[in-house]
């Protein structure tokens, strides 16, 4: 009988870096390059372009790190990276920050439709994406998790659109939208994930796996 092969478990800090490293890179490069007077449109455009290029390069690096260290790349990460490159390319080509602001809305809506569509068909699609981080979770737990994340992605899409309307490149508040990606979306997602821990443990997730599950949330950057 062949011995079972253990599934690779990503290191918590590395998993976090892969998911959020690109948006942090965008934030840092933009803040360094942005002019003190955000009314300077040309300098502001240049800062957005530099930040977008750093975002795209970091996304590709995150994909490579995930492939080398975890020996696999989740479908969510493939899709996120492809959309980052697509919308980032549009941002650079048209010199317009609106495209990079649209990217999160598109990703959130795609994930929401996939997860809620699967839930309505009694299929927990999130299980195929995050199973290595939620070992032991029963089918009922996966269904709850898929449904809740589906609705949460709808909420994030709506929130991003509201913020994009009020804080954008045209009204010289792009930097405030970018700060919200770090200081609002990231804490919200951690709280949302942490709130599920009691339910996950009731449905079979072990204590040791619970901590890793928090660090293995779907990407929301």
Give the structural domain span for 127: 12-215
Structural domain contains residue 4: no
Positive or negative: CA dihedral 43, 45, 47, 50? negative
Closest-CA residue to 160 (of 86, 215, 109)? 109
Tokens of 54: 């750093």
pLDDT digits (tens, 9 = 90+) for 82-130: 888 898 888 888 888 888 899 899 989 998 999 999 999 999 888 877 6
Instruction: Please check whether residue 79 is in contact with residue 106, taking contact to mean a CB–CB distance below 8 angstroms.
Output: no
Structural domain contains residue 91: yes
Element (H, E) at 138: none
Cα distance between residue 42 and residue 38, in whole Å:
10
Instruction: State the pLDDT at residue 9.
Output: 45
Positive or negative: CA dihedral 23, 24, 27, 33? negative
The domain total for the chain is 1
pLDDT digits (tens, 9 = 90+) for 149-172: 999 999 999 999 999 999 988 888
pLDDT digits (tens, 9 = 90+) for 186-200: 889 889 988 888 888
Cα distance between residue 210 and residue 215, in whole Å:
9
Structural domain contains residue 33: yes
Instruction: Please check whether residue 79 is in contact with residue 110, taking contact to mean a CB–CB distance below 8 angstroms.
Output: yes
Structural domain contains residue 3: no
Instruction: Please check whether residue 60 is in contact with residue 42, taking contact to mean a CB–CB distance below 8 angstroms.
Output: no
In the chain, % of residues over pLDDT 90: 19
Q: What is the pTM assigned to this prediction? A: 0.79
Q: Give the Cα-Cα-Cα angle 108, 162, 84 (nearest 5 degrees).
A: 40
Cα distance between residue 38 and residue 170, in whole Å:
11
Structural domain contains residue 7: no
In the chain, % of residues over pLDDT 70: 79
Structural domain contains residue 200: yes
Cα distance between residue 146 and residue 128, in whole Å:
11
Structural domain contains residue 94: yes
Who contacts 4 (Cβ-Cβ below 8 Å, separation ≥6)?
none
Structural domain contains residue 149: yes
């Amino acid at each position: 009988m062949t011995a079972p092969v253990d599934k690779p478990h990503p290191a918590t800090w590395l998993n976090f870096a892969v998911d959020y490293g690109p948006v942090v890179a965008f934030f840092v490069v933009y803040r360094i390059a942005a002019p003190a007077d955000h009314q300077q449109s040309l300098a502001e455009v240049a800062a957005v372009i530099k930040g977008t290029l750093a975002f795209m390069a970091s996304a590709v690096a995150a994909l490579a790190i995930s492939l080398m260290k975890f020996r696999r790349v989740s479908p969510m990460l493939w899709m996120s990276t492809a959309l980052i490159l697509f919308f980032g390319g549009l941002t650079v080509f048209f010199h317009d920050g609106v495209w990079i602001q649209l990217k999160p809305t598109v990703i959130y809506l795609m994930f929401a439709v996939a997860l809620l569509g699967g839930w309505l068909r009694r299929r927990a699609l999130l299980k195929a994406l995050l199973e290595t981080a939620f070992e032991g979770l029963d089918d009922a737990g996966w269904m709850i998790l898929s449904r809740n994340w589906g609705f949460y992605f709808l909420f994030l899409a709506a929130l991003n659109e509201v913020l994009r309307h009020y804080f954008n490149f045209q009204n010289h508040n792009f930097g405030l939208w970018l700060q919200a990606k770090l200081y609002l979306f990231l804490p919200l997602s951690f709280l949302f994930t942490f709130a599920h821990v009691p339910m996950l443990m009731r449905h079979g997730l072990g204590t040791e796996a619970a901590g890793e599950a928090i660090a293995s949330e779907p990407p929301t950057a």
